[in-house]
Amino acid sequence: MSSKICSVPFNGTAEQEAELLKVISERKHEKGSLMPILQKAQDIYGYLPIEVQKIISNEMDIPLEKIYGVATFYSQFALNPKGQYKISVCLGTACYVKGSGDIYAKLQEILGIEGGQCTPDGKFSLEACRCIGACGLAPVLTVNEDVYGRLTVDDVKDIIAKYSE
């Protein structure tokens, strides 16, 4: 089985854990409190790795699997952290028609990760997004605040190289 446990090392601090434990102890007896606790945990850590889900599971006496089920049901929850460089590939209609699907696939190949994941060194994270309003430049991707347009699959390597130093 290919595990979905995040390959980026977990860097949670004691302060973050204390904050999470406080939230859980305040809310755990409320009915339906798992969702707000997960949201708060994501605010604290930026994502919901197994280490964080295990804390919630132990404290709330809810099986880890159940928490994982909720975390994967809602797309707003992330299992992986964002990288130092967050790459978003537009898969909106115009970009898609212009071949952004191939660009997205090439990025997955070069970075060795799937969409939604982060490289083990924490440098790059990759995600697909919908129209960013730059259809005239289709196909488009962004790296943090930088926008790259009129791309071909061959451009991808150079863009990654630029941020790799």
Partner 1 sequence: MENINLKINGMAVSVPKGTTILEAAHSAHIDIPTLCFLKDINEIGACRICVVEAQEMRGPALGPKRLVASCVYPVSEGMEVSTNSPKVIDSRRKTLELILSTHDRKCLSCVRSGNCELQKLCKDMKVDDECAYEGEKVKYEIDNSAAHMYRDNNKCVLCRRCTAVCEKVQGIGVIGANERGFKTSITSAFEMGLGETSCVSCGQCIAVCPTGAISEKDYTTQVFEAIADPTKHVIVQTAPAVRAGLGECFGYPIGTDVEGKMVAALRRLGFDKVFDTDFSADLTIMEEANEFIDRVKNGGKLPLITSCSPGWVKYCEHYFPDMTENLSSCKSPQQMFGAIVKSYYAEKEGIDPKDIVSVSIMPCTAKKFEIGRDDEGRDGMADVDIALTTRELGRMIERAGINFNALPDEKYDDPLGIGTGAGVIFGATGGVMEAALRTAVETLTGEELADVNFTDVRGVEGIKEATYNVAGMDVKVAVASGLANARELLKKVQSGEADYQFIEIMGCPGGCVNGGGQPQVHASVRNFNDIREMRAKVLYNLDEKNAIRKSHENPVIKELYATYLGEPGSHKAHELLHTTYVKRSVN
- The stretch near partner 1 (CB under 8 A) out of 22-30, 72-80, 114-122, 129-137 is 72-80
Considering the rule CB under 8 A, would residue 145 count as an interface residue with partner 1? no
Query: What is the size of the binding site for partner 1 (CB under 8 A)?
Result: 19
Q: Which is nearer to partner 1, 120 or 150 (CB)?
A: 120
Cis peptide leading into residue 139 (ω within 30°): yes
- By CB under 8 A, what part of segment 1-20 binds partner 1? 1-5
x/- contact string, 26-55, with partner 1 (CB under 8 A)? ------------------------x--x--
Considering the rule CB under 8 A, would residue 76 count as an interface residue with partner 1? no
Say if CB 60 and CB 28 are below 8 A apart.
yes
Say if CB 137 and CB 89 are below 8 A apart.
no
